[in-house]
Structure 1
Amino acid sequence: MNVFSQFLSQVSAIPLAVIDAAIPLNFYVSIDISENNSAVLDFNIADSGAWEKYINSYLSLQNSQVAHGGYLEKRNLYDRSAYFKNVAEHNKRNIHLGIDLWCAANTKVLAVLTGEVHSYKNNKNHGDYGPTIILKHSIAEKTFYSLYGHLSEASIATIKVGDLFVQGSVLGFLGEASVNGDYAPHLHFQIIKDLADYFGDYPGVSASSDLEFYQQNCPDPNVLLKIR
């Protein structure tokens, strides 16, 4: 664990909610959608409806409401989108840099920590984030950012740069496939140490050739969420 990750792990001794706090952690279940999960190969991964059916079936079988996971997971899911796909294997962006929380559309998304809106944007590429909000946090003289992707369009309809959100307050809602980049409804949550010049966007998937940098700049968000 690097210095930044250690700092984040000490921000809170208890789990911090990033989706509806009314859903208890015992209704969360981990999920593997990496290229190693043979079940993912049994349906058309290019079809968001098939993905939603798979996720809902998995949650039902597990008697759960939220499926979570995916940090540094290598996925073939992104091959369906020209936005991610490259010819050279070492440049293919397919290693996930955040944590995904798969649950119903319109589920509340919460500010994981108190922060102000740095930026927001509707990233409309196929397979992209869709509506996205980035919060800026300052704790113990350290500044960092949290990214919330795959939101509803209403989540960014009235928001403004500089708006303050208190920890645990409703930041937005999960979007449906028609607006969220064409995925089954879920939240992509990512911590970013240095946002550089990005605005309303930041890479959520890395190529293997860039992974060392991104792993340092985007630590496992579970150091805050403490789901497992």
Structure 2
Amino acid sequence: MNKPIDLVAALNRSDIIIGKVVDFDPAQDLLYPFDLTAANKELTNDILDDTDVFTSWVEDKLRLNNCRYGIGGYNEHRSIYARSAHFDTGEEPRRLHLGVDIWGTAGTPVYNFHDAVVHSFKFNNNFGDYGGTIILKYVLGDVVIHALYGHLSVESLQGLEEGMFIPAGTRFAAFGTKEENGYWPPHLHFQLIFNMQALKGDYPGVCQYTKRDIYLKNCPDPAVILKYTF
């Protein structure tokens, strides 16, 4: 029987320093906790069916609450994926979100939180898909883990090569516009993955609810890296 991977223990090592993913000053910047489940009755189809209207809704929430970013979504059962046929393949649609979303403005810089190498990258250009996608591979003590950065600008993919070293603290990507991020309001999908299962440039960020336990075991809560609180 395989021993469970203890990511928290690895991150608690004194020689493991975790940096930022986006610019954020916890002393003065606020985060807005977005609820994208069916319980949020404010999020109507009129909003979800138009990316520009959806973007304005996100921007208004951030502005009215004086928040620099919105955040949330791990292990969240989301109704919003009904807007895209990309999540409706098979008998059971995919609705359970496996990463954390950081909602902000297009062009927001994305930084590498620890030394890593490029595992793979791809422009996943389907409606509702990741758009610009970069997957980095990390060795954190005894733990090997991958981080998927989705909804990036196409420019973020330029000059990358598999195996390329990206030092901690490097600004290596940026939030994409709707035309390059799968037609979503600008945001970063940040997901941790132990086993990439031979996939490159892509990995499910949303799973079928009946497969929840399998995927959550392979995709731990990114809050251990992002360290956000409300």
Query: Partners of 1:8 and 1:191 in 2: how far apart?
Result: 14
Q: Structure 1: how far apart are the matches of 2:21 and 2:192?
A: 12
Residues 81-105 of structure 1: CA deviation (Å, up to 9, x unaligned): 11111474xx210110000000000
Q: Check conservation: 2:116, 2:166, Cα contact below 8 A.
A: yes
Larger deviation: 49-58 or 134-143? 134-143
Alignment match of 1:28 (pick from 24, 28, 31): 31
Q: Does 1:64 align with 2:64?
A: no
- CA distance in 2 between counterparts of 1:210 and 1:46 reads 27
The answer for the alignment partner of 2:9 in structure 1 is 7
Matches within 5 A, 1:113-132: 113-132=114-133
Aligned equivalent of 2:20 = 17
Measured after TM superposition, the shift of residue 15 of structure 1 is: 6.9
Q: CA deviation at 1:192?
A: 0.3
Equivalent residue number for residue 112 of structure 2: 111
Q: Please report how far the alpha carbon of residue 62 of structure 1 lies from its aligned counterpart in structure 2 after TM superposition.
A: 0.6
The structural deviation recorded for 1:6 is: 2.6
Amino acid at match of 1:154: E
What is the deviation of 1:143?
A: 1.2
Q: For residues 109-165 of structure 1, give each alpha carbon's deviation from its aligned partner in whole angstroms, at most 9, with x where no partner exists.
A: 111221000100000111000010000111223211000000001000211111211
* Bigger shift: residues 101-110 or 71-80: 71-80
After TM superposition, the structure 1 = structure 2 runs for residues 90-169 of structure 1, keeping only pairs within 5 Å, are 91-169=92-170
Q: Which amino acid counterpart does residue 199 of structure 1 have in structure 2? A: K
The one-letter code of the counterpart of 2:175 is: L
Cα deviation for residue 27 of structure 1 reads 2.5
CA distance in 2, matches of 1:87, 1:197: 21
Deviation at 1:9, TM superposition (A): 4.8
Q: Unpaired runs of 5+ in structure 1?
A: none
Q: Normalized against structure 1, the TM-score is what?
A: 0.91
**Contact kept? 2:122, 2:132, Cα under 8 Å:** yes
Could you tell me the percent identity over the aligned residues?
Answer: 35
Three-state SS of the structure 2 residue aligned to 1:150 is strand
Matching residue of 2:212 = 211
Alignment partner, residue 56 of structure 2 = 53
Q: Which of residues 77, 81, 85 is equivalent to 2:84?
A: 81
CA distances 1:2-34 after superposition (whole Å, capped 9, x unpaired)? 743433552689874211x2x323332221111
For residues 142 and 131 of structure 2, what CA distance do their matches in structure 1 show? Answer: 32
Q: Unaligned stretches of 5+ in structure 2?
A: none
Q: Distance in 2 between matches of 1:46 and 1:114?
A: 39
Q: Which amino acid aligns with 2:118?
A: V
Q: How does 1:147-226 map to 2 (within 5 A)?
A: 147-226=148-227
